[in-house]
């Protein structure tokens, strides 16, 4: 069993719990600020593994509609070499 110090004995348990919660909130605020100011050093670490051997296709929607003509509707003219 842990031995309580004199100041811990003098506080009611509600005050001690509130103090712990307050300090936890302050630490979380410091962590958040550090993560926002320097995400490379303090940000959440993510490990990305690529196991697929197929090439990745990236589709970018530019809003331009590309309509391919039907082969049947296309008109061809034969060019003869002279």
pLDDT confidence bin for 33, thresholds 50/70/90: very high
Look over the chain and give the mean of its residue pLDDT values, rounded to a whole number. 77
20 assigned to some structural domain: yes
78 assigned to some structural domain: no
49 assigned to some structural domain: no
28 assigned to some structural domain: yes
pLDDT value, residue 75: 65
Report, as an integer, the average pLDDT of 58-79: 70
Residue 16: exposure state from Cβ atoms within 10 A (0-12, 13-18, ≥19): middle
30 assigned to some structural domain: yes
The total number of structural domains in the chain stands at 1
14 assigned to some structural domain: yes
82 assigned to some structural domain: no
34 assigned to some structural domain: yes
Domain limits for position 29: 10-42
Tell me how far apart the alpha carbons of residues 15 and 21 are, in angstroms, rounded to a whole number.
10
Tell me the percentage of the chain whose pLDDT exceeds 70.
73
């Amino acid at each position: 069993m842990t031995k309580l110090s004199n100041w811990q004995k003098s506080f009611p348990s509600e005050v001690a719990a509130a103090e712990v919660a307050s300090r936890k909130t302050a630490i979380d605020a410091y962590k958040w600020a550090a993560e926002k100011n320097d995400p490379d050093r303090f940000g959440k670490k993510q490990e990305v593994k690529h196991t697929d051997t197929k090439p990745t296709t990236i589709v970018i929607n530019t809003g331009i509609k590309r309509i391919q003509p039907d082969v049947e509707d296309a008109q061809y003219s034969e060019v003869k070499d002279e």
